[in-house]
Structure 1
Amino acid sequence: MISLHSSINLSAVADLHADLLQRGVLVVDDSSMHRYSAQLCLGAFGIPRVSEAANGKIAVDQLSSQAQQPAVMMLDLEMPVMDGIEVLQHIAELPQKPAVILASSSDEVLISAVATMAEALGIRLLGAFRKPINPADLANALSNYRAVTTAPEADKQNLLKPDLAQLEQALQRASIQVFYQPKLDLSSMKVAGVEALARWKNAQGDWIPPSLFIPLAEEHGLIGELTLSLLDQILQDMNGWWEQGHYIPVAINLSAKSLAEFNLANEIIQRVIRQGIPAHFITFEITESALVVDLPSALATISRLRLKGFGISIDDYGTGFSSMQQLSRFPFSELKIDRSFVHGAPDHQYLRNILKSAIDTGIRLGIKTVAEGVETEAELHLLQSLGCNQAQGFLLARPIPGRELLGWIEHAAQDHISYAKPVSLDR
């Protein structure tokens, strides 16, 4: 399971979480050699408690009989009696689930599929690797245990979850603000535009995730009102930038529910005209799933906006089931590639193939391609080599308030992006 020929960097695991050191690791593998190499490596990392199981059935029995579960399970997939996939299904039913590191000799596509399944089951996945695991990769996976165990994210989100009255009040007071995440042109490494993102800080000073208030707005028919509130802020910011000579295109997310609102397109068009912003400086991002909610309404709204000169982007491309034929029915001007195909692509051939296919799809359709979620220089360089047009992500810039955007353009490049200096766009 562990490569015995790789050197072990103890500094990488010098600060493992105390809970991990106390509860230890369970190694589940039918190969005694792999169990032995894993035990040696974990011992070198300073983990005193390492237990073993020769197959999945033994592991499940151990978990059922022990009062204290191991903190982490290193799990093989191909095993007799009970394979690793069955073990994951059993773990999902436990009240206290160990975090999991997958290790398998299977191909990367299968490992990735099982990893996705594990996360969908609510299992804390620290890493998924082909055998033999490099000790450095194992060290990085174990170091992730700190973030997983010290942040009770579900409990925190339950405390932050707003109700309808709070959302209505926030809309009345315009408390839901717009932040902007810059996008860079990958050929010139200059600012190509920004994506507008909704951000809501409640009265207690806590940030409420969009994943909590956007569905609430959709459920209660307030998503159109929220969209227009954000649009008004965006248009005001754009006029402020223009007065200072910065003509920055903005992308805005449009909910699937919004596409079915008959008058929303009219409201959008009228507000943009009143503010004097040319429509082609604004792009509406629409997810793949929105295209199948109400096809006639979606086509009508998208086509009207496109007819008036707005850009239309298909967002999170690759996570739905769009075919080339379906894409050709809509007047898209941009294809936005989901971050799940960007993350890990430099290290995994199958992800590179998917990423290349998505970029090639945009090229064949004659539309711009934008990759989101770029977090490493390797991902950035890969996107450049594949011919992707634009990118955004934490490597390039985090979302910032509109009042800070021009300062970022002028100053933040030399502080945070060593390989580019963004400049304002030409009108």
Structure 2
Amino acid sequence: MPADSLSVLIVENHAFQRSIAVKMLGQLGCRQVFESAYAAEALVLLQQIGSVDIVVCDLRMEGMDGLEFIQRAAQMALIKHGVVSCGLHSDLRRGVVQMVTLLGLSFLGDAGKPLQIETLRHLLETTGLPAPLPQATVPELHSVNESDIRRGMANKEFYAFYVPRCDVLSGAIKGVDVVAHWDHPLQGLLAPSLFMPMIERCGLLDEMLLAMLDQGLELQRELMGQGIGFRLTFALHTTQLASRYLSLRIKSLLQFYRSAGMGIGFELTPHQLFKPSAMALESLIRLRLLGCDLSLGDFGANHASLQQFCQLPFNHLKVAGLFMADLESQPRSQAVIKSSLTLAGALGLGVTVAGVESAAQHLILLDMKCPQGQGRYFAPALSRDELSRRLAASQTVQRLDG
């Protein structure tokens, strides 16, 4: 985008620094340059003149600081791109990038202090790139209510899909996470994010879990008859531990399918501090006594997961997929995954790393000797038939190799 078509706002407490910035932008061809000494004053100015393409501000300012200013201006859709001028340490710069991205803006960079005209020139040139779009929101299903969900469950419209957990070295499917999809008669096949929150609000989590467990165990028994074994893992919500009803129903299903629980697991993902009651502990212990694995999901993502790891009888960890997003560029993300693998190995726990999206990430996990990975790089969610075909094909390849 040509500099003369850009509108730029300078927010800087120091008059000399501000005047230098205005002069440099003029030399670079910018014809619409606005300035303000204070962030609160800048917000008023933006409301008067309308949105600008770029704001250049110091994060350390008197009164309202640059962080609050960027938040407020973004929420009012008054800026498109952000430049800071304070010489950030790499750790802080990473945090600012994440913050402005979540606000739907693009972060052009840190111009440093004192400002350099060549640095500004480079940052202005990057505005030729399209600004990031705000994060997509999940469409709300206004036509779906509790009676519709109950009707769907009665008509067996919910089907188990299977998200593979794969051996990092060979790529072979070692297990699957079982997730529900809804074959809605009017809206087609719906992903779990579109209806599971409503399932939870309606108090139907137990019924959904038991339906998925029934389908999963049936498929597992069928494939085991062909000599194909794999592990099933089901999501478990903390609210489902409040009574022994669910664990007793799970026991009955395992007995019906003549499964000793071997090859079955449940994954608990506490997103907030969860203080287990005696009944919750009883439920978890009963699942372990049945031979089921108990996995802690999103490990490392929050303080809650670390605390629950110390309190509850988990024997498997799933490392949060958020660390994979910048695995190739951020040593800290690599350190978190490596330390999680070390911890699991020292305690004899199983471990899976979620969110694997690329070959480069796969290679890093190979170097770390990670045992299992999960993500679109390995496989998407598979239907019953797709999973059966993949497992059968893998079994055939193993026989040929043997």
TM-score, normalisation: structure 1: 0.73
1:60 matched residue in structure 2: 43
SS at 1:315 equivalent: strand
| Number of equivalences | 380
Change (3 A) 1:318 1:61: same
Structure 2 CA distance for aligned equivalents of residues 91 and 267 of structure 1: 53
1:375 corresponds, among 338, 357, 363, to: 357
Q: How does 1:67-86 map to 2 (within 5 A)?
A: 67=50, 69-70=51-52, 73=54, 78-81=59-62, 83-86=65-68
Structure 2 CA distance for aligned equivalents of residues 88 and 80 of structure 1: 12
SS at 1:347 equivalent: coil
2:244 matched residue in structure 1: 262
Identity of aligned residues (%): 22
Q: How does 1:233-312 map to 2 (within 5 A)?
A: 233-289=215-271, 292-312=274-294
The reply on whether 1:365 has 2:317 as its aligned counterpart is no
Change (3 A) 1:56 1:256: farther
1:181 matched residue in structure 2: 163
Change (3 A) 1:347 1:143: same
Change (3 A) 1:128 1:352: farther
Larger radius of gyration between Structure 1 and Structure 2: 2
Uncovered stretches (5+) of structure 2, i.e. residues with no partner: 113-118
CA contact (8 A) 2:297 2:318 kept: yes
CA contact (8 A) 1:179 1:399 kept: yes
Q: How does 1:80-159 map to 2 (within 5 A)?
A: 80-81=61-62, 83-91=65-73, 93-94=75-76, 96=77, 98=79, 105-114=87-96, 123-126=103-106, 142-143=129-130, 145=132, 148=133, 153-154=136-137, 157-159=139-141
CA shift at 1:227, angstroms?
Answer: 0.7
Question: C-alpha offsets along residues 349-392 of structure 1, whole Å, 9 cap, x if unaligned?
Answer: 22222222222222232212211111122222222222322111
1:200 matched residue in structure 2: 182
CA shift at 1:169, angstroms?
Answer: 1.6
Structure 2 CA distance for aligned equivalents of residues 408 and 142 of structure 1: 41
TM-score, normalisation: structure 2: 0.77
CA shift at 1:97, angstroms?
Answer: 6.0
Q: Which amino acid aligns with 2:146?
A: L
The reply on whether 1:224 has 2:206 as its aligned counterpart is yes
Q: Judge which range, 32-41 or 78-87, deviates more.
A: 32-41
CA shift at 1:161, angstroms?
Answer: 7.0
Uncovered stretches (5+) of structure 1, i.e. residues with no partner: 1-12, 14-22, 414-420
CA shift at 1:422, angstroms?
Answer: 8.5
2:115 matched residue in structure 1: none
Structure 2 CA distance for aligned equivalents of residues 274 and 423 of structure 1: 31
CA contact (8 A) 1:201 1:208 kept: yes
CA contact (8 A) 1:28 1:56 kept: no
CA shift at 1:311, angstroms?
Answer: 0.7
Supply the RMSD in Å over aligned alpha carbons: 4.1
Q: Which amino acid aligns with 1:279?
A: G
Q: Judge which range, 83-92 or 221-230, deviates more.
A: 83-92
Structure 1 CA distance for aligned equivalents of residues 220 and 288 of structure 2: 20
Change (3 A) 1:199 1:34: farther
